[in-house]
Amino acid sequence: MNISIVGTGTMGRLVRDLAVQNSDIGKVWNVEPALGETLWDTNPDVVIDFSHPNALKMICDFAKSKKGKVPVIFATTGYSKEEEQLIEELSKTVPVLKSSNYSYGINALKRILGLATILLESSSDIEIIEKHHNQKIDSPSGTANLLADTIDPKQKKKRVFGRVGEHKRKDEIGIHSVRGGTIFGEHQVIFAMKDEVIEIKHTAFSKTIFAKGAIEAAIWIKDKNPGYYTIDDVFY
């Protein structure tokens, strides 16, 4: 299997380095749209995107030109609603897998939160705190939004991103972002009840976990039919 990796930032390079060591993978291309490089100069069986929303049109156009034979793994975050719709539209003719986080631990955390929410939602104030390195541009993180959607999939609760001023807490989920140093990624969900608190936390000590999950997803999706897949389909 040959793969093309879109993006030559930290994650793009890490995926490339792991891919060339994987016996299931043959050729590996690493293209940087910001430098004018495109997927048309490569011949992949699967595309892995760790770049920027600006590259979305190029990726979609390339995947469509391959008539559904080249699946796409989307690992970029920070898409607008319109861009999310473009990805959903692409999945009608191309196998697409999209996730805000490719770590096994975070996806296990999602399942744990599903049960915790059933048990605690009605009696708890729920807060999410996420921490990342000082070079991360988007906030809150895609994973924080993913966890909020896991807790409240129909978005019945108001999302409050940080707090300022004088406002009494209502039926909401607070989401708070910290940016500093070289923190790989930390996500904490707090269920605060009367006289007791339950905290569930995931800490990433290396970005390798995200690259490994993306490669596993690429191998899994290679022969799948067009459709919109999630990382749950890979891990579970």
| The pLDDT value given to residue 192 | 98
Q: Is the pLDDT of residue 167 over 90?
A: no
| The pLDDT value given to residue 205 | 94
Q: pLDDT digit string (tens) for 104-152?
A: 999 999 999 999 999 999 999 999 999 999 999 889 998 999 999 999 9
Strands, E assignment, the chain: 3-6, 28-31, 46-49, 72-74, 95-98, 125-132, 158-161, 172-179, 185-193, 196-204, 227-229
Q: Is the pLDDT of residue 177 over 90?
A: yes
Q: How far apart are CA 184 and CA 52, in angstroms?
A: 18
Residue keyed to tokens 């049960």: 115
Q: Is the pLDDT of residue 6 over 90?
A: yes
Outline where 104-207 has alpha helix (H).
Answer: 104-120, 142-151
Q: How far apart are CA 83 and CA 79, in angstroms?
A: 6
Residue 77: band (very low, low, confident or very high) from pLDDT cuts 50, 70, 90: confident
**The token pair that represents 180 in the structure block:** 């500093």
Catalytic residue annotation? 132, 136
Residues 6+ apart with CB under 8 A from 62: 38, 39, 40, 47, 70
For residue 23, the one-letter residue type is S
Q: How far apart are CA 147 and CA 178, in angstroms?
A: 16
**The token pair that represents 61 in the structure block:** 């156009």
Q: How far apart are CA 46 and CA 26, in angstroms?
A: 12
Q: How far apart are CA 130 and CA 57, in angstroms?
A: 30
Residue 78: band (very low, low, confident or very high) from pLDDT cuts 50, 70, 90: confident
Q: How far apart are CA 69 and CA 221, in angstroms?
A: 11
Task: Sheet with 158-161: list strands edge to edge.
Answer: 158-161, 172-179, 125-132, 185-193, 196-204
Average pLDDT, the chain: 95
| The pLDDT value given to residue 24 | 92
| The pLDDT value given to residue 236 | 82
| Helix and strand element counts for the chain (H, E) | 7, 11
Q: Specify the 3-state DSSP secondary structure of 54.
A: helix
Q: pLDDT digit string (tens) for 12-56?
A: 999 999 999 999 999 999 999 999 999 999 999 999 999 999 999
134 touches 161 (CB < 8 A): no
